[in-house]
Structures are given as structure tokens and as C-alpha cells.
Amino acid sequence: MLLKLLNQVEKPKFIVISDSLDVTGTTLFQSFVTTRCKKTVVHVFLFETHPKDFLTSLKSTNHENIIIYDFYTDPLNWDDGENTISKSFVFSKTIENHACHTDQFIVAIDGVGMYLNNHPANQLYQDLQRLKQNPQLEQCILLIHSDEINQGVKKSIEHLSNAVLNLRHPRNNVMVCKTIFKKPNGKMLQFYEEIKIASDFQVSAMKWSLPNHNEPCEPIPPPSDEPSVVSDLSFNLKLSNDEKKQRGKLVMPYTQAKLAVKMEEKTSGEIIYELDDVDDYDEEDPDDDLDF
């Protein structure tokens, strides 16, 4: 599915690439820019990369179709820079002032952390929604860092998008992309793919299966040869077989008390019958020897 999105077989209007400290999404972001600028003008908003470094990395790319907005050099206008993150800055108006009103264009944003430091989150939603509704916008590609922004903000941005690419590293040297694609009819598709990105930003992808949770993720380490921590004690903590048998025969005081309680409960309320040999009752009438 990732290759279909990359090669524009599927054309969602809003794509979100989500990465973290464990795996960077910058190379995948650059791969999208590389493929898009071959046919369409791409407006790139750079908050985290210097424009010179960004263009240098795209060696074989047609730079004529890339329009860069530099918010990396002087974002707070300390040096009277051209592009600053002022309170009045919005993506949609910046595009409207520079883009041709007849040609299709693509917008690529390499992060919103700096934007959110100076603007409320609801303004970002409204700005992205307004940008998405622009009829000349062919596609918007947004890179976000999941451990940089609030999770509620992240979920709201993903809800606004048409495709979400979540990158992660389940194992060493393996990059997995979880793609959530929202079809126009409302159906959502989910794909897991193992991806590799070459130095020229060519992407290869293959299906990746979720690991079996019943199997251990890591091999069980062999038993250690180090001596036990109780080996140097002056007394023995282990019992021999004879000692275990003697322990089993030992009657503890609380056991005797428990048996006595059971005996009391058992005898209470019972009728006791004594045999005749201990019965001193005489069945003869004591008045038989009287003479009336």
C-alpha cells in the first residue's frame, strides 16, 4: 500500500507521516517530495531542516519545482528574516499568496512542533482544514513526531487526514510502516509493511506479519555460571531428604489447637448413651417386700 501512495496510484489529499525518537520519518518524507516534484510544484515548509541541507540531500531531484519556505533559519524574527512564525502566520494564506490559482500544487510540511509552540492547537486544525479545502491543492504531506506533540493533538490531526503512515522499529535494522488508508466511501484499510529506503530515496516494501505473542520476543538466556549468592553463607539453607521427612511428621502447636476446637464442635449437642454395666438403676419395685 505504501508504494501505491508513493507512486500516486492512490491519491489521498492529506497524508500524515508519524515517527518517533526510535525511527525517523524524514527519509520517507523526502521520498514523497522526490516523487512529487517530478511532475508538480511542491511547496515545502521547513521547520527542522536547513534549506541548503534539504536540497543537497535531494541530489537528482528537479529543484525547479520545489518552493521552500525557510522557517528554520530565523523562526522568531530575531534577525528580521523573511519567513517567521508570527501570530498571524497560517499555511493556507502563505500558499494563496505564492501559488498560481490555476495550477495544481502539493504542500509538504516537515513538522508542527515549532508551530504549536506559538499557536494554539485549534488554530492548526482550522488552518489544515482550510488548506485541505483549497481546490488547487493536489496533496498535503505532513510529518509529525508522536513523542513531541500531545497525543490528543496527534489523534485530531490523524482524524483530519486521509492516510496515516506510522513508522516503528519492532526489531533492530527493521523499519515497519503501519498504513491506515481511508477510502472515499468511509471504509478504512490497514496494512503492515517492512520498508527499506535507499540513499536515492527509492522505497521498497514487503508485507510484514505481526509477531506471535505466544512466542518469546527475545531468546531465554542460558543459566549463568556465576556462583550463587548463598554459597558463601556459614549456615545451610537447604534441607536433606531425612530433614524433609522429619519436618512432615512434626505437629505444630497451632495444629493441635485446631484439632481441639474441632473436637469441641463435634461433641457439642450430642446424646451420650452409657452401657448397662455402668448403670446402677435397679428395675425391681422397692415396695414388693412390704406387707399391707
What digits encode the pLDDT tens for the residues 3-51? 999 998 999 999 999 999 889 999 999 999 999 998 899 999 998 889 8
> What would the DSSP string read from start to end of 26-72?
HHHHHHHHHHHTTTSEEEEEESSS-HHHHHHH-TTS-GGGEEEEE-S
> For residue 182, what is the enclosing H or E element?
strand 175-182
How many separate helices (H) and strands (E) can be counted in the chain?
A: 9, 9
> Domain coordinates of the chain in residue numbers?
2-207
SS3 content of the chain, % helix, strand, coil (to 5): 30, 20, 50
Measured at the alpha carbon of residue 46, what is the angle toward residues 148 and 58, in degrees to the nearest 5? Answer: 115
Beta bridge partners of 16: 142, 164
- Inter-residue long-range contacts of 222-228, CB under 8 Å, 24+ positions, other chains counted: none
* CB crowding 35-53: b at 16 or more within 10 Å, else e: bbbeeebbbbbbbebebee
What pTM was estimated for this model as a whole?
0.67
Cα separation, 73 vs 51, whole angstroms: 9
Which of 27-41, 74-88, 199-213 has maximum average pLDDT?
27-41
pLDDT at 216: 46
What digits encode the pLDDT tens for the residues 234-273? 667 677 888 888 888 877 666 555 566 565 555 555 566 5
Cα separation, 282 vs 288, whole angstroms: 13
195: left (phi over 0), alpha (psi -120 to 50) or beta: beta
> How far apart, in Å, are the Cα atoms of 193 and each of 1, 177, 197, 205?
8, 5, 13, 6
Cell (9 digits) for 94: 502563505
Domain 2-207 homologous superfamily, CATH: P-loop containing nucleotide triphosphate hydrolases (3.40.50.300)
